Structure 1
Amino acid sequence: MKMTVEEIRRACGGKLLCGDPEAVVTSVSTDSRKIEPGALFVPIKGERTDAHAYITATFAAGAVATLTEEHTEMEDSHAWIRVPNTLSALQLIATAYRQRFSIPVVGVTGSVGKTTTKEMIALALSAEKKVMRTEGNHNSQVGLPLTMFRLEPEHEVAVVEMGMSDFGEMSRLAEIAAPNCAVITNIGISHIQQLKTQQNILGEKLHIIDRFQEDSVLFLNGDDPMLAGLRGKLRVKTRYFGMQPWCDDRAEQIAFHPNGVRFVFRTNGIAQEVDLPVLGLHNVTNALAGLAVAHFLGVDLEKAAKALKEYQPLAMRQQLHRHKGITVIDDSYNASPDALKSSLDMLENLREQDGRCIAALADMLELGALEHRAHFEVGAYAAGTGVDALVTVGTRAAAIAEGARSVKPEIPCHVCASNEEAVEVLKGLLRCGDVVLVKGSRGMHTDEIVKKLLEYLG
């Protein structure tokens, strides 16, 4: 990026306290430990730390300017810009910077699968276009603005993940990114503690279209009941992707094999064979979104499908580790009821002839009043899919064991209070040929279970 201090000041409506208005800023950071020469530092006041305390250190590291909401006067060779609120100022600056680019911006949201879908869309587009995409899951009120600053003149399209957990957040993100193409993966119950109902979640997600123009298009998952219910009801152009025969972009002839899944992508009378190196029906859905968007934006379908053949899952997202005849599925990044059910389906696809399917599942957080029922239903679903044994971690996850026993009373269930206890149980339980899924909300740190298991298996 490249903006002058004066351009930044105008964008956020701030007051330049000191410094050169023509100084050039080439990056923006909210982390004082990750300052590059030429950076603008944006100190955010957090619950534990006020980053204003690190402003001087960022100048020593090469920053040329800072925002501040604590200072009213300053004498310094560096640029200090006074603003009422540094987070709001960051968002305003990112909004102004994004408006310099006339390229397509694809916004991706949904309760489950945002990051994987974003990666597959970006990969499919990269077959013929220079793509800027969100790194990791930097999809928040802070992360999305920082992502927009990564846009450069050579980019032909951007794919940005947009996450929200409360009322009003998606509207702000839509103002910043101004997507003219958007994807909603599904409507689950993640963050229902704050948003109260699925209908509220749907309403908030739909704010992704707030900045749509006449030629903008919204891609919706036709296999999601709430999204399918929007057919013919929205003011914007829509395209549906999914397995339903009425979907505009759909998957047919789906066939799983030991190392992935094959299917035929059909759209507008065109059929394209696709071979994904990952398991799970949910990944077919993610790939459908990628192919649908790529085709809409003019990418050759054969090339897009070839690009998807090289897809590799991100860390802690259904990564397969095979050691001493045991397969460990590291899906520890996060969890929700829908995501857990998708992962349990995938677990069954990996079953070996004489091996067992074992699920180590931890608490799902932020489910509010639905907490007990959601965990109970996941347990019942697990027993119904043929899981041979369950290991649960946390007080909430104990209901998973209850649900499993309600369907299959004889299923072995090990209810653990900690990750350490779960590891010890798994060490005594696993044998050659077994497949074990490890999953839980990010706050449960189930990646610790994976790490200790892999160390044990060598």
Structure 2
Amino acid sequence: MKLDLSWEQAAKAMGGRVSSGNPQARFDSFFTDSRQAAPGAVFWALEGKAHDAHKFLPELARAGIGGAVVRQGKADMAAGIAQIIEVPDTLAALQSLSAYHRNRYNIPVAAVTGTNGKSSTKEMLKSIFSQKGRTCANQGNLNNQYGLPFSLLELGPEHALAVFELGASRKGDIEEIARLAKPWVAVITNVSAAHLEFFGDLETVYRTKIEIADSLPPGGTLVYNCDDPLLRRLDAQWGGNRTTFGCGEAAQMRVLDGKEGELALSYQGAEHRMPFSAPGRHNRVNAAGAAAAALAIGLGWKEIGAGLSAYKPLPGRLQVEKRGSATIIFDAYNSNPASAKAALDTLASSAQGPRVAVLGDMKELGAHSAKYHRELGAYAASLKLDKIFMAGPEMRHGYETALESGAQAATYDENFAQWLPQLKDAAAAGGTFLLKASRAMGFEEILKQL
């Protein structure tokens, strides 16, 4: 982060005022984690529902930090800190500063949202964009109302393009942060059941995801998955520029059947084939969305082919590893009904047997949790896998339904440690093993043991 602003300029961009110190001093960067304190550094005191970072100010003053951004009425807690900006709301001020900084750079920007595949699609676009020039993108999961501003503040004169993923856990989140990113092209990967504990129902998820369209400028392009039954509504609801993608005949950017290790796309009557190593049909669909967005933003097939050929899946997202004679597909960064079924499809299509699914709870499904775990158990049973291991309190519903659906080799315990020795023996004998669960299940420990 190199903002190259004066304190006075920064305060104006935030909607605040310099209440202490030199307004012409340089305001170049800041930190929000009190553990990162350093002499002369600037601390931004963020507040959340259960957290107020202002409480760290006295300790940070003793550590010798040089400045702070605080809420009005809290400056007394920053006694001893030389430079102070006071703002009405520190989160809103952070967003305002990031919006101001975004407007300093007139470069092509794409934004990606969706229940599943947004991180992968963002990384695919980053790989494509990087063929043209240096590209700014989210690091890690900095994709919400707290994280996206930090991603935007990384923009610099060295960047030729940018791509940002936008995450949400409640209605209005996408609208709030998409206006900060100001994309030229917006991508919606899909809409499915996730975070229902917060959204309530699938209709609200849909309404939230399509908020991204309202952030587009005149002439901007909406790119969406027309295989998705909810997103197909946009055919009638969206009157602006669009490009659809998917596997169906209606898709403008269509995924074709291709051999292993290859991506085949059809667009405007022409076929385009390129090396592509990411496993799973859903990753090919994500790639189609990335290709459509790249064309909409002004890049060509040369950059698309080179970028998608170079793309590697993110850690924890269909990450393929060899362990002796076993192939491990580790996909336990997150899990919801659609992504779990897609991962199971990838396992079922594997040529190397035995095929073994290791499934853990899908979190944040709220009152719908039992229903979706039962559906997943039935789906896993329908694939006739060689073995299914299940863990977690919610996955008990999936286990019971898997047995009712005819699964002959299903094992369950709330704690995966109980069946881990059996799994290790199975992996030692070889085969393909899918590890799929929400991150809270801690399946990284299983991966370490195999």
TM exceeding 0.5: yes
The answer to whether 1:29 aligns with 2:21 is: no
Match of 2:362 among 356, 361, 364: 364
Structure 1 distance, partners of 2:62, 2:430, is 55
Structure 1 unaligned regions, length at least 5: 454-458
The answer to whether 1:82 aligns with 2:86 is: yes
- What displacement does 1:124 show? 1.2
CA-to-aligned-CA distance 1:14-50 (integer Å, 9 cap, x gap): 2322112122222243223346787542222356653
Structure 2 distance, partners of 1:117, 1:35, is 35
Q: CA separation of 1:196/1:349 partners in 2, compared to 1, >3 Å: closer, same or farther?
A: same
- What displacement does 1:399 show? 1.5
The answer to whether 1:322 aligns with 2:293 is: no
Aligned to 1:214: 218
Structure 1 distance, partners of 2:207, 2:217, is 19
Whichever residue aligns with residue 448 of structure 1, its letter is E
Match of 1:186 among 187, 190, 211: 190
Q: CA separation of 1:132/1:63 partners in 2, compared to 1, >3 Å: closer, same or farther?
A: farther
Match of 1:405 among 398, 403, 406: 403
Any idea what SS the aligned residue of 1:33 has? Answer: helix
- What displacement does 1:56 show? 5.8
Aligned to 1:71: 74
Aligned to 1:395: 393
- What displacement does 1:11 show? 1.7
- Shifted more, 425-434 versus 246-255: the winner is 425-434
The answer (yes or no) to whether the contact 2:321–2:328 under 8 Å persists in 1 is: yes
TM-score (norm 1): 0.91
Whichever residue aligns with residue 167 of structure 2, its letter is G
Aligned to 2:372: 374
CA-to-aligned-CA distance 1:409-438 (integer Å, 9 cap, x gap): 4x2111112232242331244342221111
Aligned to 1:234: 238
Structure 1 distance, partners of 2:63, 2:264, is 52
The answer (yes or no) to whether the contact 2:396–2:414 under 8 Å persists in 1 is: no
Aligned 1:81-100 pairs, distance under 5 A: 81-100=85-104
- What displacement does 1:448 show? 1.8
The answer (yes or no) to whether the contact 1:25–1:65 under 8 Å persists in 2 is: no
Structure 2 distance, partners of 1:96, 1:424, is 55
Aligned to 2:153: 149
The answer (yes or no) to whether the contact 2:67–2:81 under 8 Å persists in 1 is: no
Aligned length: 446
Whichever residue aligns with residue 162 of structure 1, its letter is L
The answer (yes or no) to whether the contact 1:28–1:149 under 8 Å persists in 2 is: no
Match of 1:225 among 223, 226, 229: 229
The answer to whether 1:250 aligns with 2:254 is: yes
The answer (yes or no) to whether the contact 1:351–1:434 under 8 Å persists in 2 is: no
Structure 2 unaligned regions, length at least 5: none
CA-to-aligned-CA distance 1:46-91 (integer Å, 9 cap, x gap): 5665322434666788854321125244665632112232112111
Aligned to 1:383: 381
Any idea what SS the aligned residue of 2:328 has? Answer: strand
Aligned 1:155-174 pairs, distance under 5 A: 155-174=159-178
Structure 2 distance, partners of 1:339, 1:101, is 35
Structure 2 distance, partners of 1:165, 1:126, is 30
Q: CA separation of 1:386/1:318 partners in 2, compared to 1, >3 Å: closer, same or farther?
A: same
- Shifted more, 356-365 versus 263-272: the winner is 263-272
- What displacement does 1:107 show? 0.9
Structure 1 distance, partners of 2:166, 2:189, is 12
Structure 1 distance, partners of 2:409, 2:266, is 43
Match of 2:109 among 105, 112, 136: 105
Structure 2 distance, partners of 1:62, 1:4, is 20
Aligned to 1:456: none
Whichever residue aligns with residue 183 of structure 2, its letter is P
The answer (yes or no) to whether the contact 2:185–2:296 under 8 Å persists in 1 is: no
The answer (yes or no) to whether the contact 2:44–2:70 under 8 Å persists in 1 is: yes
State the identity %: 32
Whichever residue aligns with residue 444 of structure 2, its letter is D
Q: CA separation of 1:186/1:274 partners in 2, compared to 1, >3 Å: closer, same or farther?
A: same
CA-to-aligned-CA distance 1:237-282 (integer Å, 9 cap, x gap): 2110111122111122333x2xx3x232222233321221121001
Structure 1 distance, partners of 2:383, 2:25, is 61
Q: CA separation of 1:306/1:13 partners in 2, compared to 1, >3 Å: closer, same or farther?
A: closer
Match of 2:429 among 418, 432, 439: 432
CA-to-aligned-CA distance 1:320-362 (integer Å, 9 cap, x gap): 121221122111101000000111111123341xx31111111
Whichever residue aligns with residue 357 of structure 1, its letter is R
- What displacement does 1:100 show? 1.4
The answer (yes or no) to whether the contact 2:54–2:74 under 8 Å persists in 1 is: no
Q: CA separation of 1:122/1:369 partners in 2, compared to 1, >3 Å: closer, same or farther?
A: same
